[in-house]
């Protein structure tokens, strides 16, 4: 017990350093996902048949294949095959970004479809082009409606980022495993790692809830609009 | 006028508090067969609470309820279930079971509470639906019915249980003005058939045409009580009169 | 047509891995739903003490990565003298984690039932037990099924983590072959197709069930 605590105490700074990499993965993946999600959702709703078909297949693949399998496929397979020399960090960020992009595409699609029909028409009636209407009427509403789902995505990506250790990116989980294999204090170390993830998860979720309140427009919420 | 009739329901000195606030302050009502008593008064006066106390959806803190001269013990589950089977309740917001069709909303109680067979229950349910003019809607779910239709199904559901008394809590106030008529006419038919009722309502035509007695409730008490002819006579200065005048004006504005 | 030794090896391994995956998924899914219903009911109706405990359980398992939970069970518990087999560690981890997420949907479903539904039943003389069986459960079931089904689909995907605690299922079996032949793209591409098949099958079954149980006013699109 004594030993377990001292190991945890000694290795804590080392483990916590891993959270920078974890945070990097999450931030990169979230924004890549946001970018992919927005473009895809617009394509899924307003695109022609072929665009919709291709995007649907993309969503199907990234929502159906486990993250570990994607990591192995991209890191050891596809990227090498294509001659791309991506680091483990870059690979994890890209794979998680593409995965959450598939989910975010569906979230945004749902949000666009739940906007009252009249919004787009009203924008067009004011003489806006389609792009202008999407940019200044559809997107601002859609992003607000999507914050709750977005917070869910954040928590999923954060937890999935712990899988980066299977390809050797030195984030929290990999570091914990490294220390544990040397000190044999598995239980206390993994519980410590668990606590770090727990705090990161709920801090982010609560932060996004605050954001949601901050950008809220009176009388306008997911429920109010259904 | 009512002296020769034996009361079937006697509610004596009911009180009810939520936390520190006393909602009902020693309220008593007697009801004989065929009586129609109408509760009016400002919102928050305790009408809904009183009606829910009468069939023990809200348990009174003190007081007595007697049905057919038998006292209901509030601590005995069986007493309460028996009371509820004999006293029907119509809610402002219908409370139809959302996962059941119009027909099954009626049969579920007949089968589970009255232990009727499926066939019997359906036969009875169809009969009641026909009475409220909805025999062609039996397969529709609440989400597919209009407010007026929902309330008529709710009335059919309550009647199928053969209640001795029907309690109605503002049965028309959640309805669009255009749908109120169909529910009012169903209630009027019930009155003609001699149904015993206590009804909270702000519907002037129901108050004028149906009430044997008006009970004006305010601040947890019945503060005025009497036949409409007396209370609402022209030039009377009763609270009921003032209140009904107000309702009259409001309904004119609406039209 | 004769398959090359690589493909023969691959499919033999993947098929036995698939069996192991199914042996992981089925009991975990059932256990998860069972725990989810119990935990969800306690989180909604329980007294303050039990509610707090179960809320904490759900927060912990939803707030930490599943890999960590598996590592604690498989590598951590031996520190205090508890040894689980790889299979058991995986099933216990999946079940507890899945149950925590399921409880969220069950709770949401129970909370979404309006108080009028209880009142309506009580007014007709239903006992509390009858109200639960005939009114509350059928409605809660329909409200929860979409989320619970999605959670099972997640479980199918996350069963791929079992190999990390040395329980060799689909992903683990494929990884061995891939390393041996050094053919990662093909192997993990094919594993991906296996999972796509499993997930798509689950989605189809779930849609069928949802469709059969569909009632106007309870739909989820
Ligand atoms: N369950 C409850 N808990 C606390 N207060 C309640 C509850 N039910 C009703 N009340 C209060 O009782 C008062 C009377 O309400 P109600 O019986 O609904 O009056 P009415 O039907 O005449 O409008 C109101 O002030 C209301 O806020
Ligand atoms: Mg009321």
Task: Give the model confidence (pLDDT) of C202-213 as tens digits.
Answer: 999 999 999 998
Q: Do C127 and B143 touch (CB under 8 A)?
A: no
Q: Name which of B139, B128, B129, B130 is nearest B100 in CA terms.
A: B139
Segment B5-20 mean pLDDT: 91
Give the pLDDT confidence score for residue A93 in this predicted structure.
96
Q: Which residue has the higher pLDDT, C172 or A110?
A: C172
Backbone angles phi, psi at B27, to 5 degrees: -100, 135
Cβ of B99 and C138 within 8 Å? yes
Average pLDDT value over all residues in chain B: 90
CATH number of the domain that A205 lies in?
1.10.3720.10
Number of domains forming the structure of chain B:
1
Cβ distance of C216 and B143 shorter than 8 Å: yes
How many structural domains compose chain A?
1
Neighbours of chain A (3+ CB pairs under 8 A): C
The pLDDT tens digits for C133-144 are 999 999 999 999
Question: Which value does ipTM take for this structure?
Answer: 0.91
Closest approach of chain B CAs to the CA of C147, in angstroms? Answer: 18
Q: How far is C99 from chain A (nearest CA, A)?
A: 16
Is A220 part of any domain?
A: no
pLDDT of residue C219: 67
**Range with lowest mean pLDDT among A45-54, B57-66, B148-157, B232-241:** B232-241
- Residue A52 lies in domain: 2-215
> Torsions phi, psi of B25, nearest 5?
-120, 90
Instruction: Tell me if B201 CB under 6 Å of ligand 1.
Output: no
Cα–Cα distance measured from residue A158 to residue C64, given in angstroms and rounded to the nearest whole number: 9
User: Quick check: is B63 in a domain?
Assistant: yes
Tell me the CA distances in angstroms from B182 to B121, B147, B149, C29, C178, one per residue in order.
25, 10, 8, 50, 74
- Which other chains touch chain C, taking contact as 3+ CB pairs less than 8 Å apart? A, B
User: Residue C172: pLDDT above 60?
Assistant: yes
Contact B27, B221 (CB under 8 A): yes
By a Cβ cutoff of 8 Å, what residues of chain C touch chain A? 59-60, 62-69, 71-72, 75-80, 157-161, 164, 171, 175, 178, 184-189, 191-192, 195-196, 199-200
Cβ contacts (< 8 Å) between C79 and chain A: which residues? 4, 184-188
Domain with B162, as residue range(s), is: 7-254
Q: What is the pLDDT, as a whole number, of residue A225? A: 34
Q: Is C212 on the interface with B (CB under 8 A)?
A: no
Tokens of A1: 């017990």
Per-residue b/e over A160-189, b at no fewer than 16 CB within 10 Å?
Answer: bbbbbbbbebbbbbbbbbbbbeebebbbbb
Domain membership flag for residue A136: yes
pLDDT classification of B254: cutoffs 50, 70, 90: low
Chain B residues near residue C127 by CB distance under 8 angstroms = 77, 81
**Per the domain annotation, does B70 fall within a domain?**
yes
Q: Is residue A193 part of a domain?
A: yes
CB A128 within 8 A of CB A60: no
- Among all bound ligands, the one having the nearest atom to the CA of B93 is 2
Residue A140 within a domain = yes
Distance B107 CA to ligand 2 centre (A): 28
Categorize the per-residue pLDDT at B1 as very low, low, confident or very high, splitting at 50, 70 and 90: very low
Q: Which chain C positions have a beta carbon within 8 Å of A190's beta carbon?
A: 68, 71-72, 75-76
Going from N- to C-terminal start, the domains of chain C cover 5-213
Residue A37 falls inside a structural domain = yes
Provide the whole-model pTM.
0.85
Confidence (pLDDT) at A212: 81
Instruction: List chain A pLDDT tens, one digit each, 226 residues.
Output: 567 788 888 888 888 888 899 999 999 999 999 999 989 998 998 889 999 999 999 999 999 999 999 999 999 988 888 888 889 999 999 999 999 999 999 888 888 787 777 777 788 778 787 788 777 887 788 778 778 888 889 999 999 999 999 998 888 999 999 999 888 889 999 999 999 999 999 898 898 888 888 877 765 554 433 2
Domain C5-213 has CATH 1.10.3720.10: yes
Atom 16 of ligand 1, residue of closest alpha carbon? B46
Residue B215 has pLDDT above 90, yes or no: yes
pLDDT at B253 (0 to 100): 59
Please check the confidence at residue B177 and state whether its pLDDT lies above 90. Answer: no
Cα distance from N-terminal residue to C-terminal residue, chain C? 45
Separation in Å, CA of C190 to nearest CA in chain A: 10
């Amino acid at each position: 017990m004594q030993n377990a605590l001292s190991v945890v105490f000694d290795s804590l700074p080392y483990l916590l350093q891993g959270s920078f990499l974890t945070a990097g993965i999450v931030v990169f993946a979230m924004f890549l996902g946001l970018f992919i999600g927005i473009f895809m959702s617009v394509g899924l709703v307003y695109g022609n048949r072929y665009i919709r078909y291709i995007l649907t297949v993309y969503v199907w693949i990234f929502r159906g294949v486990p993250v570990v399998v994607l990591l192995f496929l991209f890191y050891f397979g596809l990227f090498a095959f294509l001659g791309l020399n991506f680091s483990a960090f870059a690979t994890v960020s890209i794979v998680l970004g593409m995965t959450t992009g598939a989910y975010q595409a569906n979230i945004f699609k749902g949000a666009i479809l739940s906007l009252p029909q009249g919004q787009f028409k009203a924008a067009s009636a004011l003489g806006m082009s389609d792009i202008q209407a999407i940019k200044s009427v559809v997107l601002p509403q859609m992003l607000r409606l999507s914050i709750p789902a977005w917070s869910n995505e954040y928590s999923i990506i954060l937890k999935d980022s712990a899988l980066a250790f299977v390809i050797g990116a030195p984030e929290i989980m990999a570091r914990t495993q490294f220390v544990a294999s040397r000190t044999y204090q598995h239980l206390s170390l993994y519980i410590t790692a668990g606590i770090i993830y727990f705090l990161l998860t709920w801090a982010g979720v609560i932060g996004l809830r605050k954001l949601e309140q901050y950008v809220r427009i009176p009388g306008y919420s997911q429920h109010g609009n259904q | 006028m009512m002296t020769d009739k034996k009361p079937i329901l006697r509610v004596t000195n009911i009180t009810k508090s939520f936390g520190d606030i006393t909602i009902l302050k020693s309220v008593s009502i007697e009801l004989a067969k065929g009586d129609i008593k109408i509760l009016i008064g400002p919102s928050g006066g305790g009408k809904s609470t009183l009606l829910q106390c009468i069939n023990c959806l809200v348990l009174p803190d003190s007081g007595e309820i007697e049905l057919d001269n038998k006292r209901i013990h509030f601590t005995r589950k069986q007493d309460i279930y028996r009371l509820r089977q004999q006293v029907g309740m119509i809610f402002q917001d219908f409370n139809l079971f959302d996962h059941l069709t119009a027909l099954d909303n009626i049969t579920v109680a007949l089968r589970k509470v009255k232990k009727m067979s499926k066939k019997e229950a359906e036969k009875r349910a169809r009969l009641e639906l026909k009475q409220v003019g909805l025999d062609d809607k039996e397969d529709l779910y609440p989400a597919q019915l209009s407010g007026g239709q929902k309330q008529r199904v709710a009335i059919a559901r309550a009647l199928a249980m053969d209640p001795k008394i029907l309690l109605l809590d503002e049965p028309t106030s959640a309805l669009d003005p255009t749908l109120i008529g169909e529910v009012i006419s169903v209630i009027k038919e019930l009155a003609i058939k001699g149904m015993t009722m206590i009804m909270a309502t702000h519907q002037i035509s129901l108050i004028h045409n149906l009430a044997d007695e008006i009970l004006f409730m305010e601040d947890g008490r019945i503060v005025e009580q009497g036949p409409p002819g007396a209370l609402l006579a022209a030039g009377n200065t009763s609270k009921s009169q003032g209140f009904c005048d107000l309702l009259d004006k409001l309904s004119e504005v609406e039209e | 047509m004769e398959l090359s030794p690589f493909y023969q090896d691959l499919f033999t391994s993947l098929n036995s891995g698939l069996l192991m995956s199914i042996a992981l998924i089925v009991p975990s899914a059932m256990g998860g739903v069972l725990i989810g219903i119990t935990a969800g009911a306690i989180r909604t109706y329980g007294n303050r003490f039990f509610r707090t405990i179960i809320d904490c359980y759900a927060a912990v398992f939803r707030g930490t990565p599943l890999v960590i939970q598996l590592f604690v069970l498989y590598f951590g518990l031996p520190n205090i003298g508890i040894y689980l087999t790889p299979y058991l560690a995986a099933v216990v981890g999946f079940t507890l984690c899945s149950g925590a997420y399921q409880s969220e949907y069950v709770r949401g479903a129970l909370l979404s039932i309006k108080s009028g539904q209880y009142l309506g039943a009580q007014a007709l003389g239903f006992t509390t037990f009858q109200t639960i069986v005939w009114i509350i459960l059928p409605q809660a079931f329909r409200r929860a099924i979409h989320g619970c089904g999605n959670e099972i689909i997640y479980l199918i995907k996350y069963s791929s983590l079992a190999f990390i605690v040395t329980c060799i299922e689909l992903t683990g079996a494929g990884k061995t072959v891939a390393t041996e032949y050094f053919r990662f793209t093909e192997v993990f591409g094919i594993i991906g197709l296996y999972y796509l098949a499993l997930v798509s099958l689950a989605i189809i079954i779930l849609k069928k069930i949802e469709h059969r149980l569909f009632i106007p006013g309870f739909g989820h699109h």
